[in-house]
Structure 1
Amino acid sequence: MALVLHAGKNNKNAVKALIAAQYCDVEVKLAENFEMGVTNKSPEFLKMNPIGKVPVLETPEGPVFESNAIARYVTRIKADNPLFGSTLIDYGHIEQWTDFAAMEIDVNISKWLYPRLGYGVHLPLAEEHAIASLKRALDALNTHLASNTYLVGHSVSLADIVMTCNLYLGFSQIMTKSFTSEFPHVERYFWTMVNQPNFKKILGEVKQAESVPPVASKKPAAQPKETKPKAKNEPKKEPKKEVEKPAKAEAAEEEEAPKPKPKNPLDLLPPSKMILDEWKRLYSNTKTNFREVAIKEGYSLWFCDNKYNEENTVSFVTMN
C-alpha cells in the first residue's frame, strides 16, 4: 500500500517527505482532489489531525502529522538509510540542522512573508525584527557552508532536504537577489540542492523572487450609495429665512486687556554676588562651611531643626 500525503501540490512542508521518498525509493502519493480550506476541514481529515493542519501522512498503521515527523518516518522506512548519516554524531548533527532550519530559518521567513500576504497583521517593527533574526541565522549558515558542501558529511542528508525546502519558500517568494547576495555560500548551497535530480523532480524549475511582495491592503470595499426615489409632484420647500440677530455690543466683543502680572517681592532684592555653582564645586573639594562663605545679599538663610535628628547621621543625606 502506497503512503498517501494529504496536502497541496506546492506545499513546501509536503515536499520534504516527497523528496525524502525519492532518495529512499519509497512510494508516497499525494491525495487526489485536495482543496485547502475544504478538505482539511472535513470530518475525515480532522480524525487524522484534530487541528486541521497540513500535511498529514496516511499510513497502514495510522496517520502522522507535522512535516518534519513525516519526513523522518518516510526516511526510516528503510534501514541503513544514508539520509540519517553513518555515525551517531552524524545523526546528532542532522537533527541539529533540522531544528535550526525550523526554528531559525522557517520561522523568520514566515514572520516576514505571511503578514505581507495578508495572513496576519503587518507590523513594521515585528518585520524588522524578523529580517534581523533571519539575517543572523543566514550568516551562521553561510559561515558553516563556507567549508562544507552539505550540512553534514559529504552527501545529501535529511537536514539538507528540510533546510532546502524551508529556504525554498524564502528564495521563491521574498528573498530577492539583493538580499541573498550577502550570503554567497547559502546561495551556492541552495542552487546546488534544488538542481539535484531528486529535488528537481519534485520542485521543478525554481526561480528567485524579483521583488518583495507589497503589504496586502485590507480596506473594505466601498458600498454603493443609496439613491432615494424622487417624490412625484412634491412641492418645493422654501428655505427658511433666518432672523438676523442684533449685533453684540462692541464692548462685549472686545477681549479684555491682559492684566499686568503682580511683581514678585524677591525681584526687588539686589542681585547677589554669590554663585551657587561655584559654592558646590568649592564644597565638594574643600568641605567649607556654607555659613563662612555665604554672601547675604540677595539670599536669606534659614536654620531648621529636624524632627528625627537621630536619622541624620550621614551629612550629605541630611543636606540634600
Structure 2
Amino acid sequence: MALILHAGKTNKNSFKTLIAAEYSGIDVKLADISKWALIEQWIDFATLEIDANIISWVRPRMGRSVYLPPAEEATIAALKRALGSLNTHLANSTYLVGHSVTLADIVMTMNLFLGFTYLMTKSFTSEFPHVERYFWTMVNQPNFKKVMGEVKQTESVLPIPSKKPSQPKEAKPKAKDEPKKKSRKSLQNQSRGC
C-alpha cells in the first residue's frame, strides 16, 4: 500500500520526501491536490469576504467599536456581494468542494454562524436562497448538531448600543497635592533673608 503525500509536484520539500522514499524502498504517491487548492480557496473566501464583513458589522453593535452608519452600509454592501458570489456557486452544489463535507464547509458555516444568529434576518438571507439552504443543511448535519446544538436564526438585527463607550475621566488633582501658595509675607521674609 502506497503512502499518500499531499504536496505540490514541484515543491522542493516533496522532492526530499520522494527521493528519500526511493532510497528506502517505500512506495509514496503524490495526491492530486487540485481538490485541496479549491478547499484553500474557499477557506480564504470564507475568512476574507464573509467573516471579515460580518465581524465589521457586529462589533459596533456589540459595543466593541464605534458605530458609524456609513461604515456599516459599506460593510453590508460588501457582505451582500460576497453572499451573492457564494449563492451563485451553491446554485449547483450542495457543498463547496466535491460531494461531501470538507474543511472549507466547516469554516464557511462557522463564519456564517455569527451572521445568521445576530444580524442576518430571514428577510436579509432570503435574497440568497442557496446560501440559506447550504447553511441549514450544514448546521443540521449530525456532527455539527452534536457540537452546536439547535441553531436559530435571529428575528432582528442586533441593536446599536444606546450608550456611548465611556471615556476615561481626567483625574483632578487633590487639594493637598496642589502646591501651596506662599503668602506675600513669607515671600517678603524669604527675600530679606537673601
The TM-score normalised by the length of structure 2 is: 0.68
Matched position secondary structure for 1:115: helix
- What is the CA deviation profile of residues 161-198 of structure 1, one whole-angstrom value per residue up to 9, with x for unaligned ones? 00000001100111000000000000000000000000
Cα drift, residue 220 of structure 1: 7.9
Aligned to 1:145: 90
- Report the counterpart of residue 115 of structure 2 in structure 1: 170
- Separation in 2 of the partners of 1:105 and 1:87? 28
The answer to whether structure 1 residue 183 and structure 2 residue 120 are counterparts is no
Distance 1:89 1:119, change over 3 A: same
Q: Does 1:130 align with 2:75?
A: yes
Once the two structures are superposed, what CA deviation does each residue of 1:33-76 show, in whole Å capped at 9, x if it has no partner? xxxxxxxxxxxxxxxxxxxxxxxxxxxxxxxxxxxxxxxxxxxx
RMSD, matched Cα: 1.4
Quick one: structure 1 residues 155 and 220, their matched pair in 2 at CA, closer, same or farther if it must change by over 3 Å? closer
The runs of 4+ residues in structure 1 deviating greater than 6 Å are none
2:97 and 2:50 map into 1 onto residues whose CA distance is 17
Bigger relative CO (Cα 8 Å, ≥ 6 apart): 2
| Unaligned residue ranges in structure 1 (runs of 5+) | 1-85, 222-320
Residues 111-155 of structure 1 show CA distances to partners (whole Å, capped at 9, x for unaligned) of: 111101101000000000000000000000000000011000000
Alignment-derived partner of residue 57 in structure 2: 112
Q: TM-score, normalised by structure 1?
A: 0.42
Mark the runs of 5 or more structure 2 residues left unpaired by the alignment. Answer: 1-30, 167-194
Task: Give 1 or 2: higher helix fraction.
Answer: 2
Residues 219, 201 of structure 1: CA spacing in aligned structure 2 closer, same or farther, 3 A cutoff? same
- Please identify the structure whose Cα radius of gyration is greater: 1
Q: 1:217, CA displacement in angstroms?
A: 2.0
Q: CA deviation at 1:214?
A: 1.3
**How far 1:87 sits from its partner (Å)?**
3.1
With over 3 angstroms needed to count, the CA separation of the structure-2 counterparts of 1:156 and 1:118, relative to structure 1, is: same
Aligned residues: 136
Residues 1:102 and 2:47 aligned together: yes
How high is the sequence identity, in percent, across the aligned residues? 70
Separation in 2, partners of 1:164, 1:219: 32
In the other structure, the counterpart of 1:243 is none
